[in-house]
Amino acid sequence: MRVRAALVVTVLAATAALAGCSGDTSPLPVTPDRPRAVATTPAPGGDKPAPPACNPRASLRPAGSLPPPGEMPAGSYMATIQERGRLVLGTSQDTLLFSSRNPFSGEIEGFDVDMGRQIAEAIFGDPDKIQIKVIGYDKRVSSAADGSVDIVADTMTANCERWADVNFSSIYYEAGQKVLVAKASKAKSINDLGGKKVCSAAGSTSFENIGKVEAKPVAVAKPAFGDCLVAFQRNEVEGISTDDTILAGMAAQDPYAKVIGERFTQEPYAIAMDKKHPEFTRFVNAVLERNRANGTWKRTYDKWLGDFGPAPTPPKAQYR
C-alpha cells in the first residue's frame, strides 16, 4: 500500500494543476472569420479525410541576419511589439522546470520562460521587457491564434493539426511520453501495466497515446495532471503518463515516485505564434538559430535541466 496522503497538499500547493504536456487535441472552432484551412487527402475506402500531410518540424526559414535590438524593421510585427514596450508570453505557472511560479519570489520561471526572455532580449536588448500571461493548456492554440499573446512557449508539441491554426517556430526541445509509477513498482515500462489504470489529462494527446499501447493499460482521464497526481497518491491509479519533462517535475516533488521506460512517442516542442505575422515566425527562428550556435541553448538547458545529465545537442532546425 502506498501512503502519500500527506504529500498531496504539499505537491498541489507547489504545482497547482500541472498543465502543459503534449496538449489538448481539440481544434479551434471554425468561424466565418477563421475557416479551417487544412490540406487533406482522401482516405482509402471512406469519406473521412486522412490527417493532413505535413512535416510539423519544418518551420519558416529566417530571412537573413537579425536586426539590432531596438531597431526592428518598420511595418513588421516586431516593430509593433517594440512600440508596445513588452513581449507578451503565454505559458503556464505550474509546469516545474519549464514554467512554474517560484514560491519565494512569486516569479514564473523555467526553460520555456527563458525561451521567451531570449526573444524579448533580441527585440529590446532587455530580457525583462516581457509580460507573462498565464493561460490554460487547452487555450494555447487559441491564445496564439487570436493574438491575445505574442508567443506561446508551454511544453507545446508541434503537429500538423495545430499548424492549421498557428505558426510554429523550429523545434527547441525534444520530449517524449513516459510513465510515472511508485518506486516500489516492478514495472519497467508502460508495457508492464497492461490492464492497470494509467492516468492522463482529458483531451490530451498523452491520453490518446495510452490507448495505443499494445499491452492495453486502462486509460483514466482527469481534468488536469494535478488531479492525476492526487489519484496516484490515493492509489486510485497505478501510474501517470505524459511527456517526460512534466513527469520529471512530478517525480522531483514526490519521493515515492519514479519515471520508467524509454520514450514511446516523440513530442517536439515549438513556440506558437499568430499565422498573420510570418515575418515574426522567421525572426523567432533566427533567434533560436543564433542561440543554438552561440551556446545559449546549452546554458539554458544546464540551468533548468542539468540535474538530469549533460545537455544533449539542441534540435536541428528544419525549414520549409
Domain assignment present for 319: no
Residues 139 and 74 both lie in one domain = yes
pLDDT computed for residue 93 by the predictor: 87
Quote the CA–CA distance of 51 and 95 in Å, as a whole number.
30
The β-bridge relationship of strands 99-101 and 108-109 is antiparallel
Residues 164 and 181 both lie in one domain = no
Quote the CA–CA distance of 63 and 143 in Å, as a whole number.
25
Residues 274 and 212 both lie in one domain = no
Residues 216 and 275 both lie in one domain = no
Enumerate residue ranges in the chain where pLDDT < 70. 1-52
pLDDT computed for residue 219 by the predictor: 96
Quote the CA–CA distance of 246 and 185 in Å, as a whole number.
20
Compute φ and ψ for 200, nearest 5 degrees.
Answer: -155, 170
Residues 241 and 203 both lie in one domain = yes
Residues 243 and 280 both lie in one domain = no
pLDDT computed for residue 43 by the predictor: 42
Domain assignment present for 1: no
Q: Which of 283, 248, 239 is nearest to 73 (CA)?
A: 283
pLDDT computed for residue 137 by the predictor: 76
Quote the CA–CA distance of 223 and 243 in Å, as a whole number.
16
Whether 102 and 109 have beta carbons less than 8 Å apart is answered as yes
Could you list the residue range(s) of the whole structural domain that residue 298 is in? 58-174+268-310
Q: Which residues contact 316 (CB under 8 A, 6 or more apart)?
A: none
Domain assignment present for 19: no
Whole-model pTM? 0.80
Residues 143 and 208 both lie in one domain = no
Q: Which residues contact 210 (CB under 8 A, 6 or more apart)?
A: 190, 198, 200, 217, 219, 241
- Looking up residue 203, the CATH number of its domain turns out to be 3.40.190.10
Residues 159 and 191 both lie in one domain = no
Q: Please list, residue by residue across 189-228, b when 16 or more beta carbons sit within 10 angstroms of its beta carbon and e when fewer do.
A: ebebbeebbbbbbbbbbbbebbeebeeebebbebebbbbb
Q: Which residues contact 41 (CB under 8 A, 6 or more apart)?
A: 49, 50, 53
What SS3 state is found at 236? coil
**Count of the separate structural domains present in the chain:** 2
Domain assignment present for 91: yes
Residues 162 and 281 both lie in one domain = yes
pLDDT computed for residue 117 by the predictor: 98
Domain assignment present for 53: no
Compute φ and ψ for 280, nearest 5 degrees.
Answer: -75, -40
Residues 250 and 287 both lie in one domain = no
Domain assignment present for 225: yes
pLDDT in tens, 12-34: 444 444 433 444 444 444 444 44
Residues 163 and 65 both lie in one domain = yes
pLDDT in tens, 161-183: 999 999 999 999 999 999 999 99
pLDDT computed for residue 52 by the predictor: 53
Domain assignment present for 292: yes
Residues 113 and 89 both lie in one domain = yes
Domain assignment present for 279: yes
Q: Give the residue carrying C-alpha cell 508539441.
A: 157
Compute φ and ψ for 289, nearest 5 degrees.
Answer: -65, -45
